[in-house]
Structure 1
Amino acid sequence: MALGLALATPTVQAQPAAKGTSAPSDKQSGGVGGLGGVLQAAVQNHPSVRKTIADREASVAGVDEARAHYLPTLSGQTNQGADPNVTWGLIRLQQPIWAGGKIDAGVDVAESKLSSSEWAVLESRRQLMEQATAAYVAVIGNKALLATAQDGVNAHEKLLDLIRRRREGGVASDADIRLAEARLASVRTQAKDLAGQVRRQELELSILTAGHAKADAPLPSLYMNWEAPQELLTQAREASPLIRRKRQDVVTVTHETEVHQGERWPVISLRVDSDVGPTPTVYNQPRTRAGIYAEANVDGGGFVGYQRIKADAARLLAAQEDVAAASFEVDRRVQIMLNDRDLATQQLGDHQVVVQTQEMSLESSLRLYDAGRKNWVDVLNAQRELLDARLNRDRAKMTANDAELRIAVMCGTLDALAGLE
Structure 2
Amino acid sequence: MTGLAFAQPDAGLRLDLRDLLTMAVSTHPAVQAQQSLVGAAQDNVSGARWQYFPTPSVSVQNARTGATDPAYAGDSRVTVLALTQPLWTGGRIEAGVDKAQAYAQGAAAGLAESQQQLAIRVVQAYGDWLSAYRKRAAYQVGQAQHIRLKDQVARRIHEGQAAASDLALAQGRLASLDADMALAITQEEVSLARLSQLLGQTVAAKSLTGSLAEPLPNSLSVSELLAQAQSYSPALARARSNAQAQLAAIQEAKSATLPEVSFRWEQQHGNFNYLGGPTHTRGFVNLSSRLGAGLSNFAAISEAVQRHAAAEADTESQLRSLSEQVMTDHALLVTSQSRRQALQTSADLADQVLASWDRQYLSGRKSWQDLMNSAREQVQVQAQLADLEGSQVVASWRLALTTGQLQIGTGQLQVSSGQLQVPTAEQK
Choose the corresponding residue for 1:242, options 232, 235, 248.
235
Query: Which range is displaced more, 386-395 or 165-174?
Result: 165-174
Assess, with a 3 A threshold, how the Cα gap between structure 1 residues 314 and 203 changes in structure 2: closer, same or farther. same
1:14 corresponds in structure 2 to none
| Partner Cα separation in structure 2 for residue 383 and residue 307 of structure 1 | 74
| Partner Cα separation in structure 2 for residue 281 and residue 312 of structure 1 | 52
| Partner Cα separation in structure 2 for residue 420 and residue 168 of structure 1 | 62
Q: Is 1:258 aligned with 2:251? A: yes
| Partner Cα separation in structure 2 for residue 62 and residue 197 of structure 1 | 46
Segments of 5+ residues of structure 1 without an aligned counterpart are 1-30
Give the counterpart letter for 1:403 in structure 2.
Answer: A
Q: Is 1:152 aligned with 2:146? A: no
Assess, with a 3 A threshold, how the Cα gap between structure 1 residues 68 and 292 changes in structure 2: closer, same or farther. same
Assess, with a 3 A threshold, how the Cα gap between structure 1 residues 120 and 212 changes in structure 2: closer, same or farther. farther
Contact 1:80–1:86, Cα closer than 8 Å, also in 2: yes
Choose the corresponding residue for 1:230, options 220, 223, 228.
223
1:296 corresponds in structure 2 to 289
Cα deviation, residue 204, structure 1: 0.6
Q: Is 1:115 aligned with 2:105? A: yes
Give the counterpart letter for 1:121 in structure 2.
Answer: L
Cα deviation, residue 62, structure 1: 0.9
2:163 corresponds in structure 1 to 173
Q: Is 1:137 aligned with 2:149? A: no
Give the counterpart letter for 1:195 in structure 2.
Answer: I
Assess, with a 3 A threshold, how the Cα gap between structure 1 residues 270 and 81 changes in structure 2: closer, same or farther. farther
Q: Is 1:46 aligned with 2:28? A: yes
Q: Is 1:188 aligned with 2:211? A: no
1:6 corresponds in structure 2 to none
Q: Is 1:37 aligned with 2:19? A: yes
Assess, with a 3 A threshold, how the Cα gap between structure 1 residues 130 and 416 changes in structure 2: closer, same or farther. closer
Cα deviation, residue 262, structure 1: 2.3
| Partner Cα separation in structure 1 for residue 166 and residue 83 of structure 2 | 101
Contact 2:110–2:238, Cα closer than 8 Å, also in 1: yes
| Partner Cα separation in structure 2 for residue 413 and residue 96 of structure 1 | 48
Choose the corresponding residue for 1:163, options 153, 169, 178.
153
2:37 corresponds in structure 1 to 55
| SS state at 1:273 partner | strand
| Partner Cα separation in structure 2 for residue 71 and residue 229 of structure 1 | 51
- Deviations 1:286-315, CA, capped at 9 Å, x for gaps: 7221232222222246x3333322332232
Q: Which structure 2 residues correspond to residues 14-413 of structure 1 after superposition, within 5 A?
A: 33-77=15-59, 78=61, 80=63, 82-83=65-66, 86-211=76-201, 215-216=208-209, 217-225=211-219, 228-281=221-274, 287-300=280-293, 303-413=295-405
Q: Structure 2 length normalisation: TM-score?
A: 0.84
| SS state at 1:33 partner | coil
Cα deviation, residue 400, structure 1: 2.3
Cα deviation, residue 221, structure 1: 4.4
Cα deviation, residue 83, structure 1: 4.6
Cα deviation, residue 386, structure 1: 1.2
Query: Which range is displaced more, 344-353 or 146-155?
Result: 344-353
Contact 2:18–2:413, Cα closer than 8 Å, also in 1: no
Contact 1:38–1:213, Cα closer than 8 Å, also in 2: no
| Partner Cα separation in structure 1 for residue 203 and residue 346 of structure 2 | 37
Segments of 5+ residues of structure 2 without an aligned counterpart are 1-12, 68-74, 415-428
The percent identity for this pair of structures is 25
| Partner Cα separation in structure 2 for residue 119 and residue 416 of structure 1 | 13
Q: Structure 1 length normalisation: TM-score?
A: 0.85
| Partner Cα separation in structure 2 for residue 330 and residue 95 of structure 1 | 47
Assess, with a 3 A threshold, how the Cα gap between structure 1 residues 177 and 420 changes in structure 2: closer, same or farther. closer
How many correspondences in the alignment? 388
Cα deviation, residue 156, structure 1: 0.8
| Partner Cα separation in structure 1 for residue 48 and residue 87 of structure 2 | 16
- Deviations 1:368-396, CA, capped at 9 Å, x for gaps: 11221223222112111111122122222
| Partner Cα separation in structure 1 for residue 107 and residue 342 of structure 2 | 47
| Partner Cα separation in structure 1 for residue 342 and residue 296 of structure 2 | 68
Cα deviation, residue 401, structure 1: 2.2
Assess, with a 3 A threshold, how the Cα gap between structure 1 residues 416 and 44 changes in structure 2: closer, same or farther. closer
Query: Which range is displaced more, 192-201 or 340-349?
Result: 340-349
Cα deviation, residue 88, structure 1: 2.3
Assess, with a 3 A threshold, how the Cα gap between structure 1 residues 349 and 325 changes in structure 2: closer, same or farther. same
| SS state at 2:262 partner | strand
Cα deviation, residue 76, structure 1: 2.8
| Partner Cα separation in structure 1 for residue 153 and residue 171 of structure 2 | 10
| Partner Cα separation in structure 2 for residue 91 and residue 79 of structure 1 | 15
| Partner Cα separation in structure 2 for residue 395 and residue 199 of structure 1 | 16
| Partner Cα separation in structure 2 for residue 180 and residue 32 of structure 1 | 39
Contact 2:103–2:245, Cα closer than 8 Å, also in 1: yes
Query: Which range is displaced more, 292-301 or 360-369?
Result: 292-301
| Partner Cα separation in structure 2 for residue 111 and residue 344 of structure 1 | 44
- Deviations 1:93-146, CA, capped at 9 Å, x for gaps: 212222222112211111111110000011111111100001111112211111
Assess, with a 3 A threshold, how the Cα gap between structure 1 residues 356 and 220 changes in structure 2: closer, same or farther. closer
